[in-house]
């Protein structure tokens, strides 16, 4: 008998109980390993990055953040949203109403800076009241410039915003955000993985118990190898079944009036709303998009759009004087004045654009747009949202489940059944040693 001196029925009853705990525990470990730790922990990180093997670990999602973010964003930018469609909803007249009062004051102040720099003699010769009237007149023309700039920006927004890079950068800058997206969108599925390990493990344990009874009681064997093997099978199979049921089958399939469909795919409408809510709030707010336009990698193109529109506006407002001014002050100086005005206008935008954030968030409605289009995706496209998190490295999660299950099986064989202690079957002592012959 084993050292713990358990009754025979208790020893056998422990098999499905421990099997269910193996299934549950290995699935919980698999989930933890999917998301944690955020940073690599261990040794030989370079080997881990190149081959995936090392004395350490990083959560599967954080470790593959760039690749997974790229896949999610490719889906979003090719199937769900175009930045042009979003900005088309913005009314330039409304933007003008929001920022014109403050920008008018700023432009008037800029004129007081530009004019003395480029036309010192002419400007200083004017009475103060005339200078103020000119500044006021320039300020009154600012709304036309604002509307023209916003219209031009809408026409060329694809060149001014790299939406894919913007969202990927946001996800990579905060790996916890990528975890949050997958955890919140797949909350029910992750909970299913945990619980299913318990139930599937128990069912497998019942099968193991029957086989163990046959091996020990019927065949009178000492199957020291069986419980470690069964534990490995249990840990492997429970993890594999849980992952399979979440994403398979992709399309609904009916067998004998029972419809089979991946658990994650069944919740497409609900998951779509959650995904849209998170991505809009954390990556696609008006504030973030305007910051990307003003300071992002394509800001030079945006600045060229502004400069071109301001040049056109200045030429238009000057009317007949347009032909006379270059002759009076020189073509080069005239261009410098317009370039100076454009730089000043651009420098004022970061201060005034926050006045538009609430309006832009309301009319762009990116959350509603993403949620609606995502809910209408074919199942095959939708499956590509979360499955890549598990698909590429799910074999590691399954292998870890098998290893942990084997270790529990070794424990069970050693301390519950004492199979390494020489017994042939539960309750059946080993045969006595032979009696030595006396000469």
Q: Please check whether residue 376 is in contact with residue 86, taking contact to mean a CB–CB distance below 8 angstroms.
A: no
Does residue 4 belong to any structural domain of this protein? yes
- As a whole number of angstroms, the distance between CA 221 and CA 410 comes to 17
Domain span at residue 203?
1-36+64-426
Average pLDDT value for residue range 234-262: 84
Does residue 53 belong to any structural domain of this protein? no
Q: How many domains does one find in the chain?
A: 1
- As a whole number of angstroms, the distance between CA 158 and CA 208 comes to 61
Block residue for tokens 């997206």: 181
Q: Which two tokens stand for residue 142?
A: 């600012």
pTM: 0.71
Does residue 48 belong to any structural domain of this protein? no
Does residue 144 belong to any structural domain of this protein? yes
**Across all residues in the chain, what is the average pLDDT?**
79
Top mean-pLDDT range of 58-62, 134-138, 363-367, 395-399: 363-367
Does residue 73 belong to any structural domain of this protein? yes
Does residue 150 belong to any structural domain of this protein? yes
CA torsion through residues 360, 366, 368, 369, sign: positive
- As a whole number of angstroms, the distance between CA 216 and CA 414 comes to 15
Block residue for tokens 């102040």: 109
Q: Which two tokens stand for residue 205?
A: 């344990």
Does residue 102 belong to any structural domain of this protein? yes
Q: Please check whether residue 96 is in contact with residue 146, taking contact to mean a CB–CB distance below 8 angstroms.
A: yes
41 backbone dihedrals φ, ψ, rounded to 5°: -125, 120
- As a whole number of angstroms, the distance between CA 216 and CA 229 comes to 16
Q: How does pLDDT run across 108-125, given as a tens digit for each residue?
A: 677 777 777 766 666 666
Residue that wins the pLDDT comparison between 275 and 222: 275
Q: Which two tokens stand for residue 277?
A: 């809510």
Q: How does pLDDT run across 85-103, given as a tens digit for each residue?
A: 888 899 988 988 888 888 7
Asked if pLDDT for residue 225 goes beyond 50, the answer is yes
Vertex 305: Cα angle to 300 and 308 (nearest 5) = 120
Confidence of residue 345 (pLDDT cuts 50, 70, 90): confident
Average pLDDT value for residue range 197-210: 84
Does residue 431 belong to any structural domain of this protein? no
Angle at which helices 321-329 and 331-352 cross, to 10°: 110
- Contacts of 263 by beta carbon, 8 Å cutoff, 6+ apart: 188, 189, 192, 245, 246
């Amino acid at each position: 008998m084993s050292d713990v001196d358990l009754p025979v029925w208790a020893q056998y009853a422990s098999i499905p109980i421990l099997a269910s705990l193996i299934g549950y525990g290995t699935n919980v470990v698999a989930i933890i390993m999917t998301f944690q730790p955020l940073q690599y922990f261990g040794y030989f990180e370079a080997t881990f990055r190149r081959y995936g093997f090392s004395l350490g670990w990083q959560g599967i999602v954080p470790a593959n953040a760039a690749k997974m973010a790229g896949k999610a964003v490719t889906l979003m930018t090719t199937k769900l949203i175009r930045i042009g469609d979003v900005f088309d909803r913005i009314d330039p007249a409304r933007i003008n109403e929001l920022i014109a009062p403050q920008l008018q004051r700023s432009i008037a102040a800029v004129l007081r800076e530009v004019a003395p720099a480029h036309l010192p003699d002419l400007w200083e010769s004017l009475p103060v009241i005339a200078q103020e009237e000119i500044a006021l007149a320039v300020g009154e023309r600012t709304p036309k410039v604002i509307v023209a700039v916003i219209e031009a920006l809408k026409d060329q927004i694809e060149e001014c915003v790299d939406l894919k890079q913007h969202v990927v950068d946001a996800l990579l800058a905060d790996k916890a955000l990528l975890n949050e997206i997958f955890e919140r969108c797949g909350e029910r599925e992750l909970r299913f993985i945990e619980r299913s390990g318990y139930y599937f493990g128990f069912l497998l344990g019942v099968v193991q118990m029957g086989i163990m009874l046959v091996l020990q009681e019927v065949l009178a064997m000492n199957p020291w190898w069986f419980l470690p093997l069964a534990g490995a099978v249990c840990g492997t199979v429970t993890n594999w079944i849980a992952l399979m049921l979440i994403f398979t089958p992709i399309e609904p399939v009916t067998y004998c009036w029972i419809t089979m469909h991946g658990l994650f795919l069944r919740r497409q409408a609900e998951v779509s709303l959650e995904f849209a809510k998170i991505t809009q709030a954390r990556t696609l707010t008006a504030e973030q998009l305007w910051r990307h336009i003003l300071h992002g990698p394509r800001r030079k193109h945006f600045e060229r759009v502004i400069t071109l529109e301001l040049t056109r506006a200045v030429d238009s407002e000057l009317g007949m004087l347009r032909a006379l001014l270059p002759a009076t002050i020189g073509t080069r100086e005239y261009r410098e004045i317009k370039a100076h005005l454009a730089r000043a206008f651009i420098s004022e935008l970061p201060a005034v654009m926050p006045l538009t954030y609430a309006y832009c968030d309301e009319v762009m409605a990116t959350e509603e747009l993403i949620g609606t289009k995502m809910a209408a995706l074919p199942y095959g496209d939708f499956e590509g949202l979360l499955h890549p998190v598990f698909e590429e490295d799910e074999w590691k999660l399954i292998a870890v489940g098998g290893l942990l299950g084997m270790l529990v099986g070794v424990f069970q064989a050693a301390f519950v059944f004492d199979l390494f202690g020489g017994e042939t079957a539960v309750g059946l002592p080993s045969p006595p040693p032979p009696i030595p012959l006396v000469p």
